[in-house]
Structure 1
Amino acid sequence: MKKRLGLIGSGVSGLHLAYALKDEFDITVIERQASEKMRDGRIMSTQVHFGPTRAREERFHVPKWGEQPLIESIHITLGDKKLFVCNLQEPALSIDQRLYYYHSVNDLIDKGVDDKVDKESAERLVDGFDLVVDCTGKNGPLFPFPIEEALSPLEAPQRKCIVGYFKGIKSNLPLGVSVAILPEEGEMFEIPALTELGPVTILFIMAIPNGDLDVFKGVKDAVSFSQTMRNTVQQFFPDIHSRVEEHSFELCDEKGFLQTV
Structure 2
Amino acid sequence: MRKILVVGAGQSGLQIALGLQSQGYEVTLMSNRTADEIRTGRVMSTQCMFHTALQHERDLQLNFWESQAPKIEGLGVSVAAPGSWAEGPAARAIDWLGRLDGYAQSVDQRVKMAGWMETFAQRGGQLVIHGAAVGDLDYFARTYDLVLVAAGKGELVQMFARDPERSPYSEPQRALAVSYVHGLGPRPEHPGTEGVRCNLVPGVGELFVMPCLTTSGRADILFWEGIPGGPLDVFNGVKDPAEHLSLTLELMERYVPWEYARATKVELTDAGGTLAGRYAPTVRNPIGRLPGGGLVLGVADVVVANDPITGQGSNSASKCAAAYLASIVERGDKPFDEEWMRATFDRYWDTAQHVTKWTNAMLAPPPEHILNLIGAAGELQPVADRFANGFNDPSDFENFFYDPEKTQAYLADVSGAGAA
- The TM-score, its normalising length taken from structure 2, stands at 0.58
Distance 1:139 1:46 in 2: 20
Alpha-carbon distance in structure 1 between the residues aligned to 2:156 and 2:213: 28
- Asked if the contact 2:39–2:110 (Cα under 8 Å) also holds between the matched residues in 1, the reply is yes
CA distance in 1, matches of 2:228, 2:207: 14
2:170 to 155, 166, 170: 155
Alignment correspondent of 1:33: 33
Measure the CA separation in 2 of the matches of 1:92 and 1:126: 40
| More off after superposition, 193-202 vs 17-26 | 17-26
Residues 75 and 140 of structure 1: is their aligned pair in 2 closer, same or farther, counting only changes over 3 Å? Answer: farther
- Distance apart, 1:108 and its partner CA: 1.6
State the partner residue of 2:318: none
Report the Cα distance in structure 1 between the residues aligned to 2:154 and 2:93, rounded to whole angstroms.
36
Of 98, 101, 105, the residue aligned with 2:110 is 98
| Residues 1:15 and 2:27 aligned together | no
With over 3 angstroms needed to count, the CA separation of the structure-2 counterparts of 1:101 and 1:78, relative to structure 1, is same
Residue 227 (structure 1) aligned with residue 246 (structure 2): yes
Distance apart, 1:155 and its partner CA: 3.1
* Displacement of 1:132: 0.6
Q: Please report how far the alpha carbon of residue 140 of structure 1 lies from its aligned counterpart in structure 2 after TM superposition.
A: 7.0
Structure whose CA Rg is larger: 2
Deviation at residue 99 of structure 1 after TM alignment: 0.7
User: CA–CA distance in 2 between the matches of 1:36 and 1:59?
Assistant: 26
What value does the CA root-mean-square deviation take over the aligned residues? 1.9
Structure showing the higher helix proportion among its residues? 2
Percent identity (aligned): 29
Distance 1:149 1:103 in 2: 37
- Provide the residue aligned with 1:214 in structure 2: 233
For these two proteins, the number of residue pairs brought into alignment is: 258
Contact 1:126 1:132 in 2 (8 A): no
How far the C-alpha of 1:27 sits from its partner, in A, is 0.7
Tell me by how many angstroms 1:112 deviates: 1.9
**How much does 1:63 deviate?**
4.8
User: For residues 138 and 177 of structure 1, what CA distance do their matches in structure 2 show?
Assistant: 27
1:59 CA drift (Å): 1.5
Does structure 2 retain, via aligned residues, the 8 Å contact 1:164–1:251? Answer: yes
Is 2:133 the counterpart of 1:121? yes
> How far has the Cα of 1:259 moved from its partner?
0.4
- Structure 1 partner of 2:75: 74
| Alignment counterpart, residue 260 of structure 1, candidates 255, 277, 287 | 277
Q: Distance in 2 between matches of 1:39 and 1:142?
A: 24
Could you report, residue by residue, the CA deviation over 1:8-34 in whole angstroms, capped at 9, with x for unpaired residues? 111111111112211231111111111
Change (3 A) 1:142 1:155: closer
Measured at CA, do residues 237 and 92 of structure 1 come closer, stay the same or move farther in structure 2, by a change above 3 Å? same
The residue correspondences of 1:119-198 to structure 2 (distance < 5 A) are 119-128=131-140, 129-137=144-152, 142-172=157-187, 173=190, 174-198=193-217
In structure 2, distance between residues paired with 1:150 and 1:50: 28
Residue 30 of structure 2 contacts residue 132 of structure 2 at CA under 8 Å; is this kept in 1? no
1:120–1:64 distance in 2 versus 1, CA, 3 Å: closer
User: Partners in 1 of 2:163 and 2:52 — Cα distance?
Assistant: 31
Distance in structure 2 (CA, Å) of the matches to 1:44 and 1:144: 23
- d(CA) in 1 for partners of 2:137 and 2:186? 45
In 1, Cα distance between equivalents of 2:54 and 2:218? 19
- Compare 67-76 and 123-132 and name the one that shifted more: 123-132
Give the aligned residue type for 1:37: E
Moved more, 119-128 or 16-25: 119-128
Give the SS at the match of 2:160.
coil
Amino acid aligned to 1:133: L
Residues in 2 aligned to 1:139 and 1:252: alpha-carbon distance in whole angstroms: 28
**Who is 1:4 aligned against?**
3
Are 2:263 and 1:244 equivalent residues in the alignment?
A: yes
Cα shift at 1:122: 2.5
CA distance in 2, matches of 1:114, 1:238: 50
Corresponding residue for residue 406 of structure 2: none
Shift in CA distance, 34/91, structure 1 to aligned 2, threshold 3 Å: same
State the SS of the aligned residue for 2:118: helix
3-state DSSP of counterpart to 1:230 = helix
Structure 1: how far apart are the matches of 2:138 and 2:25?
A: 16
Partner Cα separation in structure 2 for residue 235 and residue 42 of structure 1: 28
Unaligned runs of 5+ in 2: 81-91, 279-420
- Give the equivalent residue in structure 1 for 2:99: 87
TM-score between the two structures when normalised by the length of structure 1? 0.91
Tell me which residue corresponds to 1:111.
Answer: 123
**Which sits farther off after the overlay, 13-22 or 166-175?**
166-175
Contact 1:75-1:176 at 8 Å conserved across structures: yes
> Deviation per CA, 1:159-195, whole angstroms, max 9, x where unpaired?
1111110112113442111101111111111110111
